């Protein structure tokens, strides 16, 4: 009864807000620099606010709006909303913070509550310039405690934790490393169709994947995301104010959120059920709200700090049976032109590691159309899945009229 009641409350929020503008920095060009060579980690070149500012300007231009049209602001956790507003000369009535999916959900709620009409969601991360550590012996703190909880035993990074995740999947279901490699190869193919991707023009074969070194066995180098600088901005606007802007609006048709917090530091959500309890909770919200099913999804994106995320999300949201993710990702099924194109920009493995933010502009552009070789033909429904440390969210976008 509680689930039904929640769905009844979510339903009226369908299509009440729209994405009207998106902007990103030049991931590939910034990574290579003026001399064409990649900047070394710790080589100061950018700062997070500058990157965020560039993305925001591009998103506003994309929408045909001015900064004075913005009365709400959501920032990624790398930014302070107070400092951002000071730098940008903005004074929104409402502000929030979180990952990209969380910010879209928060903006949807704030607009529907009457707190604001047009929200800028902004993220910038100079992680390569700042030599940000996401693992290693020197990691001693952070918002996700599992980064350092197992440090005395040598597990100091998410990569090592997801290696355990995949190892259990192999043991339970017979999933092979070659099957996992199909994900990295597919995403690289997509990046090679995306001139803004860090890995544009650098194809990857399954032999390249299998010959790469292990970082945390059984995960290899190409199972890991990039570390690069970048910024992303997304403009969310009340739907009845979105029809006469520069771009055809993309509707936020479904949202869902569920968490697995019990024993999260002890890895239970990852290793016991691969986040599927949270996946199922979100699926029960997001699909009925959007009035679609997994079979209606034309283009799919998932958080992919590691390739194994895709196996979990495909299984958890019912695109295939649990344990069949390895077989599902083979034979071009997740490539552009396949049954379910996934992470069509190259994702965080091959386009840009923007902690989920870069997936949103790609899905919006796919629904707008006009991406040339990268375009998923006839795309009308797009889904993003976010599952990190037991916290799962999903957004379903649909093509506006």
Task: Name the residues annotated as catalytic.
Answer: 303, 353
Q: How far apart are CA 373 and CA 250, in angstroms?
A: 21
Residue 105 · residue 257 · CB < 8 Å? yes
> In 3-state terms, what secondary structure has residue 101?
helix
Pairing of strands 118-125, 72-75: parallel
What would the two tokens of residue 269 be? 């959500």
Residue 240: phi, psi to the nearest 5?
-75, -5
CA angle 305, 123, 87 (to 5 degrees): 155
Count other C-beta atoms under 10 Å from residue 102's C-beta: 20
Q: Which of 103, 160, 137 is nearest to 306 (CA)?
A: 160
Q: Which of 270, 256, 260 is nearest to 391 (CA)?
A: 260
Pairing of strands 17-24, 250-259: antiparallel
Spell out the long-range contacts of 127-132 with Cβ–Cβ below 8 A and sequence spacing 24 or more.
127/227, 127/228, 127/229, 127/353, 128/31, 128/39, 128/41, 128/227, 128/228, 128/229, 129/39, 129/42, 129/43, 129/44, 129/45, 129/46, 129/47, 129/229, 130/42, 130/44, 131/41, 131/42, 132/227
Q: How far apart are CA 95 and CA 109, in angstroms?
A: 12
What would the two tokens of residue 344 be? 């069509």
Q: Mention every residue, 6+ apart, whose C-beta is less than 8 A from residue 389.
A: 144, 146, 264, 269
Cis peptide before 239 (omega within 30 of 0): no
Q: How far apart are CA 83 and CA 151, in angstroms?
A: 34
Residue 166 · residue 184 · CB < 8 Å? no
């Amino acid at each position: 009864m509680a689930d039904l009641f929640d769905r009844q409350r979510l339903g009226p929020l369908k299509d009440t807000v729209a994405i009207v503008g998106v902007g990103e920095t030049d991931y590939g060009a910034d990574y290579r620099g003026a001399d064409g060579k990649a900047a070394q980690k710790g080589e100061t070149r950018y700062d997070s606010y500058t990157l965020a500012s560039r993305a925001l300007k591009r998103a506003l231009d994309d929408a045909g709006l001015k900064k004075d049209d913005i009365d709400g602001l959501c920032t990624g956790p790398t930014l302070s909303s107070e400092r951002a507003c000071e730098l940008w000369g903005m004074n929104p009535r409402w502000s929030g913070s979180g990952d990209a999916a969380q910010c879209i959900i928060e903006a949807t709620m704030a607009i529907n509550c009457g707190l604001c009409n047009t929200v800028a969601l902004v993220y910038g991360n100079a992680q390569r310039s700042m030599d940000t550590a996401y693992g290693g012996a020197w990691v001693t703190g952070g918002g996700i405690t599992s980064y350092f909880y197992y440090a005395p035993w040598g597990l100091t990074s998410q990569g090592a934790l997801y290696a355990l995740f995949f190892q259990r999947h192999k043991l339970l279901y017979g999933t092979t490393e070659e099957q996992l490699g199909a994900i990295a190869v597919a995403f690289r193919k997509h990046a090679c169709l995306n001139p803004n991707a860090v890995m544009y023009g650098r194809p990857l074969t399954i032999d390249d994947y299998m010959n790469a070194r292990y970082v945390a066995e059984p995960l290899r180098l190409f199972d890991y995301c990039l570390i690069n600088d970048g910024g992303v901005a997304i403009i969310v606007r009340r739907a009845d104010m979105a029809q006469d802007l520069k771009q055809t609006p993309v509707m936020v048709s479904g949202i869902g959120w569920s968490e697995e917090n019990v024993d999260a530091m002890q890895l239970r959500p990852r290793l016991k059920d691969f986040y599927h309890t949270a996946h199922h909770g979100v699926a029960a919200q997001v699909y009925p709200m959007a009035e679609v099913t997994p079979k209606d999804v034309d283009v799919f994106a998932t958080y992919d700090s590691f390739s194994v995320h895709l196996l979990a999300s495909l299984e958890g949201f019912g695109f295939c049976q649990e344990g069949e993710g390895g077989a599902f990702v083979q034979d071009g099924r997740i490539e552009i032109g396949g049954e379910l194109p996934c992470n069509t920009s190259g994702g965080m493995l091959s386009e840009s590691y923007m902690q989920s933010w870069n997936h949103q502009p790609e899905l919006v552009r796919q629904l707008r159309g006009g991406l040339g070789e990268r375009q998923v033909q006839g795309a009308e429904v797009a889904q993003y899945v976010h599952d990190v440390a037991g916290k799962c969210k999903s957004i379903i976008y649909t093509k506006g009229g």
